[in-house]
Structure 1
C-alpha cells in the first residue's frame, strides 16, 4: 500500500501538531494549513491527499465554506473530509452539510487509531469524544 497523506486545516498550531503526531503514529504523512491562502495553495498543488481534517472555525474562513471548495474540486471528489472541532453541538449540521465524518476536540489518542482505520476503509466516523 502506498504512503497515506492527510491534509490538516486548522488555525490553531497546537491542534495541528497534535493531529499530525497522531497521524504520524499511524504511518500517515500530513500537510498542515492554517490560513485561507495556504488552503488555496494545498488545493491547487499536485499533492495527493487521502483524507482531509477540517476545523470549522477559523479566522477569515469557516469550515463549511472550505468544504464547499474542496468538494467542488474534481481531485478531491473521493477524498473523505472529516470535521474536527470543539463545537460538539455542530455534529448534526456537519452531517447535513456533507462532511464525511466528525471528530470532537480534543482528539482521544486511544480511540484515534481505530477511528483513522475506519475512515480509511471508507466508513463514516461520527464521534464527539
Structure 2
C-alpha cells in the first residue's frame, strides 16, 4: 500500500522506510511539514505516518490541513510527545492512531496493518476468496490450507486487490501502490505482474479479471 512518512530525523526515517518497504509497501519520505503538505495535496496516500515536531510546518498543522480538504488517508502520529493532552489534540484533529517514541518495530508494523485494514473496511484478520485464505496480519497466503508463496510485487498486488475487493483497481492505482514516486512502474510491468499472479491463483478457485482499458479485480470462480 502507499505510505507517506513524514519524519525529520534522517536515521529514523531511513530505518522506518526500510522496515515498511521490506513489508511490501510503497514508501515516500519527506523531512518537513511544508513538503508533506505539498505532497499530500498533489498525491493520494493510504496512510500518512506523521511526526509532530517538524521544521517549516508542525505536524498538527499538516494534519489539520489534510482533514480540512477531506483527505481520508489514515494518519498515524509518531512522536516523542507522550503527554495525554498531546494525544487527545492529535486524535481530535483527525488522527487515527498514536505511537510514542521510542517504539518497537513490531508494534509499528502491527499498527500500520491495522490502520490499512480499517481504511479498507476489513475488520477480520483473514479474508477467504475461493480456496485461498489471506492472513492480513502476517501477509500470508494459504491455498487449501497450504502456504502459497508469492514474490514481493505479486503479493503486494494481491493485497491491494483484496483490500479493494468488489472494485476495479486501475493500473494507475496499482503503479502508485506498488512503487514510491521516484520509481517508475510501466503499464507493461503491471500487466506482467497481473499475468503471473493470475496463473498462480487460477488453480485455487480465484480469478484475476481484467476490466479492459481500466484495471483488474478478483472474483471467485464457479468451481470454488
**Given the two structures, how large is their TM-score scaled by the length of structure 2?**
0.48
Aligned-partner Cα distance in 1 for 2:110–2:68: 29
CA RMSD of aligned residues (A): 1.8
Q: Deviations over 1:35-63 (max 9, x none)?
A: 24422431232x33110011111123111
Superposed, 1:3-14 pairs within 5 Å as 4-14=1-11
Contact 1:9 1:33 in 2 (8 A): yes
Q: How does 1:97-108 map to 2 (within 5 A)?
A: 97-108=93-104
Runs of 4+ displaced beyond 6 Å: none
SS at match of 2:63: helix
Mapping of residues 1-129 of structure 1, within 5 Å = 4-45=1-42, 47-74=43-70, 76=71, 78-89=72-83, 90-122=86-118
By relative contact order (CA 8 Å, sep 6+), the higher-ranking structure is 1
With over 3 angstroms needed to count, the CA separation of the structure-2 counterparts of 1:87 and 1:73, relative to structure 1, is same
Distance 2:12 2:31 in 1: 11
Unaligned 5+ residue runs, structure 1? Answer: 124-129
Deviation at 1:106, TM superposition (A): 2.4
Between Structure 1 and Structure 2, how many residues are aligned? 117
User: Which ranges of structure 2 fall in alignment gaps of 5 or more residues?
Assistant: 120-224
TM-score normalised to the size of structure 1? 0.79
Which of the two has higher C-alpha Rg? 2
Is the contact made by 2:67 and 2:94 (CA closer than 8 Å) also made in structure 1? no
Matched-pair contact (CA < 8 Å) for 2:2–2:47:
yes
Contact 1:10 1:34 in 2 (8 A): yes
Q: Are the equivalent residues in 2 in contact too, given 1:22–1:112 (CA < 8 A)? A: no
